[in-house]
Structure 1
Amino acid sequence: MIDPNVNLQANASYHDFSGLNELRKAAKDDPKAATLEVAKQFESIFIQMMLKSMRAALPDGGLFDSSQMDTFQEMFDQQLGVSMANEKGLGLADVIARQLAPPVKPPSADIAAASYTEQKILKPAVFLPINSDGQQ
């Protein structure tokens, strides 16, 4: 029997396509949580592309250079991207989720006007001349 308390995201894999249907269902129930999950997926893809670019910058050749090793490294980079994004990640998912969130409603004009009139107007700073010895 499957334990309903198990976190399925902790066991996420880059080749798990069933998560898309679950995400669609979750988006209908809780759009904010779904936005964060989509942001994590985007961060995962970003990390994968970053790792791929870093590997491409390395010189070719070496003891383990083969098409099988290239396939393994690509799969490893994809899984590493998913794992990193589901953990703390780079922090990109949080920024994307905040950017995609609906804007905060600005305060009404009455509240803004009241807070403006309550502010104290400060006098500008007075500049004192500095003596040649560096003291005022």
Structure 2
Amino acid sequence: MADFCEKLTAIVHISELPPISKFTYLQPLLKGEALAAINGLALTEANYETARDLLQQCFGRKKRIVFSHIQELLNLSVSGKTTADFWMLYDKLQTHIRSFKTLNITGAEYGVILTPLELSRLPENIR
């Protein structure tokens, strides 16, 4: 979600577009809980800021974002035993690590717990 918020800010929020146009761009980008959070808001200039505030309150909290990444890491597993499967796992891990860096969370903070956990999911001959 942090990546989405950064993209939205860079592309839409800081643009010179009027707020109603920004709101028009925002709505189709949302789904699930995020869309539900702003359901019922009429497409008006004032409601663009209301929508941004609601989304920030619901999804912009650092702890919630970190928790989401950790949940995804806990659910990671190697789907097979081919080299491609291991590269896919590596790519997924790197995505979360980059997100942690963006949130100013260091490997020292998450590595102590997540490294042994992820290693335990690998086949013994790979560890």
Q: TM-score, normalised by structure 2?
A: 0.30
Answer with 1 or 2: which has the greater Rg.
1
- The structure whose RCO (Cα within 8 Å, separation 6+) is larger is 1
Greater helix content: 2
